[in-house]
Amino acid sequence: MKQLTLFIIAIVFSISSFAQSEQYINAMEGALSQMKEAEEYAAFKQVSNVFERIGMAETTEWLPSYYQAYCNMNMAITQMQEGDMEACVAHLDKAQSALDQANERVESNSELVAMQGYIYQGRIWSDPQVNGPVYAPKSMQALQQAIQMDEANPRPYHLMGQNLYFTPAMWGGGPQAALPHLEKAATAFENFEPVSSIYPSWGEAFNTRLLEQARKKLEAAEKE
Amino acid sequence: MRTLLTTLFFSSMIIAVQAQTTLTGLVKDSKTGEAIIGANIFVKGTYDGASTDIDGDFVFNTFKKDTAIILISYLGYETQEITQLLHSDTLNMEIHLVAQISELDMVVITAGAFEASDEKKAVILRPLDIAMTAGATADIAGALNTLPGTQTVGEEGRLFVRGGDAYETRTFIDGLLVQKPYSSSVPDLPARGRFSPFLFKGTMFSTGGYSAEYGRALSSALVLETQGLANESITSISLMSIGGGLGHTKRWDKSSLSVSADYTNLKPYISLVPQNIEWEKPVSSYSGQAVFRQEIGTNGMLKAQASVQSSGMTMLYPDMNQVEELLPLSLDNDNYYANASYSEILNEKWSLDAGFAYGYDKEDIIQDFELHRTIDLLQGRLKTTYYPNDQITIKMGSEWMREQFDESYRPDEDTSFETNLKSNYSAAFAEAEAYLNPKLAIRLGVRGEYFGLLKEWDVTPRLSVAYKSGTFSQFSLAFGQFYQQPEFDALRYGAPEKPEKATHYILNYQYTRKKRVFRAEAYYKQYQDLMTYEADQPWILDNSGEGYAKGLDLFYRDQELIRNGDFWLSYSLLDTKREYRDFPELAAPTFASKHNFSAVYKHWLGKINTSIGLTYSYASPRAYNDPNTDVFNEGETAAYQDLSFNASYLTNLFGQFTVLYCSVTNLPGFDQSFGYRYSASPDENGLYTASQIEPPAKRFFFVGLFISIGQKFEN
């Protein structure tokens, strides 16, 4: 009887822990499909809230906070496009604090370091004249480190390419400079296999679009 | 056995059914009552929650039972935690979120100070504003001269603040006094600052009522904070119409070193552009500089820098006794400056700053006389800052300086006058700054000073109060007493008993809304114990001088009104009289003008990657003394006007980031005249002959190409 009770208790525990991790994966998958659809500020806000909730419940998982950082980067972009720099900076700060939380929960990895490089890029958008000289080298350094940590990760190449694409030519940017990085990213995206269904896999669609645009612009420039 | 399992199964079902609670409600801003859209509301430790919709409403279910902690978070608001007993099926809640107090909502002590910083939000200027002001040609004093409270004195190039003489404004680098912040120049030829604005990440220009941290300045403190670690390794080349320079910066993980050398020579420029001055040897100078930074541990920073400058010129200059007669006058100057400072955040409550500096300056002036002068300054400073809590900051510190002044004046080959003066100075200060609440701040300081040369002790109080009167507006006031020893060249024949003294009273109003700032400042400054002497008997001296300055400064900056444009307007009204040095009576000094106005405009032309700037300055007539009349300082100069232009074109040269910069002063060619210089003694008719003081040339043109060879965006 005693043994049986122990057995039952063991089963109940394993079921509950299994159920919990399944619940976690289900919730993450749900949120990620929501994130894929998101285009506008409000949608990113919603899904960022979902990640915040999951992150608060699962205090040892780093992915919820990582995605929360990513959502805030997207919100920072929409705010920047609307010219609300104060809100843009607030989202950059939030992205940084979410990333800091992710970093506390897991040993550093290529995705986290790439996200750090991305946030540094965001600092440049908010005040290019002042922040450019400080954060451009920091971002570059982080993205290079992310490549060193995992050469197969397409996101650091993508972020480098994206940043160069939008950087004026006089500062060494433009489509020509961006092209090799976007191409590298495209190859890496093709060969990239996420560790799991909830592991980072974002960036491919935008990379393809930027690559097309960059090629078009270069062709147009050649014709002239 | 079966019963046990069944019981377990059903009891868990029952718990699940019982625990289902629906939470619904509204999230609002606690102050405005407006609905908050997109707030995150959830039960802590579960995934159960929702975002508020466009009306601030939310609804969600939770399986959590009994006591739950409900969290509500939203960007820019304090996260709220509510402990709630979940007992009923539906629970309705109204939540009031409290907006976080941002730096911009806090009151700031602004009386008397203009601050430029990238790190602080509540400042009026950015460091780049100082570097890019038209007419200033990247000269710190030139740029600050477009701010209210300053008087344009075209033939000087130094800062004159609120009726104070140039010596009443002192420059501090990382807290350490700089004895010779301007290049050496002969009278009537404007001086330039020795330090490039690009060396500093923060500038605090106080036109009065400044902190007890600083002393030895009757009118104004210009506090410069040097840059930290260099961002990246970079090589820079500059090619200018007046010279060139080469620099290299190396960045390591925790340290950086920059080394640079510059050479300027005005000869080629002067041969192209007509001059009012006859140059025998136009100004040329060599300079070298090294800047080192080292992070020590996680919270310590060592900063060290050294610079060497050597310059010389020879020009035809009016003879002192016979001003129509021009004689070659040469000026050679060597200047060395080094400082080192260390700051460390010791723990959450304490930080430490320590610094040392040494400066040496040597001038040799030769006409039909010879004047050799050296001055050196050695100083140390120690400051600790204590933060008992978020609202209070207490600074305590002390400083010590030793100066040596040696001068040899030879009016002819057989005569020589030697002056050798040693001066020690020590001071201790303590100052507390407290935010009584987000709307009210007070700063109270005291400084004790000992002037060794005068053997005089003084204790000076400083006080500032700021009150936030509305969301966008605030009032500040400041009071302070300031002591300064007269300059060495006034102490040749003896020292007075006391240092000179000024008392400042300042009332300031500031309105800041987004990118618009308006400020108005009224002040009264009282001078006491100014040193005076008889015009032809400088050894009969005492502290009987006095004076006053009162006025109103207005400033408006707008970065919103014009797209890609940014402008500021400054106006200063000044009423000042003083009796000092050889003044026979209370009179308006020659450097003071009643009205000063500046308008600075900057525009970014994105399509052609070019930034352009225009600066207009006006100064009403100033006094000058005509010894041929009985009334002192009765002469009036013409009003001064200037319109300067600059443009920077950003481009890529050989794949490297390049800036092409050009500027011109006095674009419309206004006549600028700064009064007259008179012979020291009358001619045979008993008249003092005069020569007009005018700028060295009508306009100054400058073209420069600045190339940065840096880290490329490549893998």
pLDDT in tens, B674-712: 888 888 888 888 888 888 888 888 999 999 999 988 754
Beta-carbon contacts of B141 under 8 Å, excluding residues fewer than 6 positions away, are: B157, B158, B159, B182, B192, B193
Which residue out of B123, B198, B712, B713 would a mutagenesis test of the A interface target, given it has the greatest number of A Cβ atoms within 10 Å? B713
**A30 in B contact zone (CB under 8 Å):** no
Q: Which amino acid is at B261?
A: A
What confidence score (pLDDT) does residue B715 get?
32
CB contact under 8 A, A130 and B128: yes
What pLDDT, in 10s, does the model give residues A80-96?
999 888 899 999 999 99
**Where in chain A does DSSP place strands (E)?**
none
Which percentage of chain B shows pLDDT scores above 90? 69
- Tell me which residue of B379, B373, B300, B372 sits closest to B339, measured CA to CA: B379
Task: Give A56 to chain B, closest Cα distance, Å.
Answer: 6
Facing residue for A134 by CB, picked from B48, B231, B655: B231
What pLDDT, in 10s, does the model give residues B343-356?
999 999 999 999 99
Alpha carbon of B450 to those of B215, B425, B486, B489, B589: distances in Å?
11, 6, 14, 20, 29
ipTM of the complex: 0.87
Chain A residues with CB inside 8 Å of B606's CB? Answer: none
CB contact under 8 A, A172 and B45: no
Task: Give B37 to chain A, closest Cα distance, Å.
Answer: 9
Q: What's the order of all strands across the beta sheet hosting B57-62?
A: B57-62, B21-29, B90-97
Secondary element (H or E) of residue A23: helix A2-37
What pLDDT, in 10s, does the model give residues B51-93?
999 999 999 998 888 888 999 999 999 999 999 888 778 889 9
What confidence score (pLDDT) does residue A221 get?
84
| Residue A46 structure tokens | 């919603």
What confidence score (pLDDT) does residue B14 get?
45
pLDDT for residue A205 is more than 90 = yes
CB contact under 8 A, A170 and B655: no
Task: Give B462 to chain A, closest Cα distance, Å.
Answer: 34
Q: Which amino acid is at B5?
A: L
**A54 in B contact zone (CB under 8 Å):** yes
Contact of B679 with B688, CB cutoff 8 Å: yes
- DSSP code, position B638: P
Task: Give B715 to chain A, closest Cα distance, Å.
Answer: 7
Facing residue for A164 by CB, picked from B76, B652, B713: B713
- DSSP code, position B54: T
Chain A residues with CB inside 8 Å of B47's CB? Answer: 23, 27, 50, 53-54, 57
Residue ranges of chain A assigned to CATH 1.25.40: 110-224
- Tell me which residue of B293, B382, B378 sits closest to B337, measured CA to CA: B378
Count of A-B CB contacts under 8 Å: 80
What confidence score (pLDDT) does residue B713 get?
37
- Comparing alpha-carbon positions, the chain A residue that sits nearest to B126 is A130
Facing residue for B713 by CB, picked from A12, A147, A173: A173
CB contact under 8 A, A56 and B71: yes
| Residue B239 structure tokens | 């090619």
Domain boundaries along the sequence of chain B: 2-97, 113-710
| CA dist., res. B405 & res. B407, Å (int) | 7
User: Which residue numbers in chain B have pLDDT < 50?
Assistant: 10-16, 712-715
**A57 in B contact zone (CB under 8 Å):** yes
**A168 in B contact zone (CB under 8 Å):** yes
Determine the 3-state secondary structure of A200 from DSSP. coil
Facing residue for B40 by CB, picked from A4, A12, A53: A53
Q: A110-224 has which CATH code? A: 1.25.40
- Domain B2-97, CATH homologous superfamily name and number: Carboxypeptidase-like, regulatory domain (2.60.40.1120)
Contact of B482 with B217, CB cutoff 8 Å: yes
Alpha carbon of B221 to those of B155, B170, B172, B209, B218: distances in Å?
22, 5, 7, 9, 9
- Comparing alpha-carbon positions, the chain A residue that sits nearest to B610 is A170
CATH 1.10.8.60 fits B113-710, yes or no: no
Chain A residues with CB inside 8 Å of B605's CB? Answer: none
pLDDT range class, residue A12, cuts 50, 70, 90? low
DSSP for B235-287, written as a single string: EEEEEETTEEEEEEEEE-SSEEEEEEEEEEE-HHHHHHS--SS-EEEEEEEEE
pLDDT for residue A16 is more than 80 = no
Facing residue for A56 by CB, picked from B44, B650, B651: B44
pLDDT range class, residue A20, cuts 50, 70, 90? low
